[in-house]
Structure 1
Amino acid sequence: MKTVLHKAEDRGYANHGWLQANHSFSFAGYFNKDKIQFGALRVLNDDIIAPKMGFGTHPHDNMEIVTIPLSGVLKHRDSMHQNWQQVLPGEVQVMSAGTGVQHSEINGSDDTHLSLFQIWIMPNKQHVEPRYDQKSFHDEDRQNKLQTLVTSIDENHEGSLKIHQDAIISRIDLDIGKTYEYTLKSDNHGVYVMTVFGQVSIADITLGTRDALGVSNAVGFSIDAMEGSSLLFIEVPMG
Structure 2
Amino acid sequence: MAALRLALPLGATALVAFVASLRRLLRSLSGLQRLLGLTEVKLSSLRFATPNLKVPENVRGVWWIDGGPGVITVDLNLLLPAGSSSSFYAQDVIPDYQTVSSNLPGLQLFLFAIALCVRSHVVVDSDGPQVSWSLLRGCVPLPVKSPSRRLGEHSVQRSIVNSSSGKVLASYPAFRIVDATGQRTIHFQEMIDKVGDVALVKQSAAVHQSLVMDLRQHQGCNASGVLRSLL
- TM normalised by structure 2 equals 0.29
Higher relative contact order (CA 8 A, sep 6+): 2
Greater share of strand: 1
Which structure has the larger Rg? 2
TM-score, reference length from structure 1: 0.28
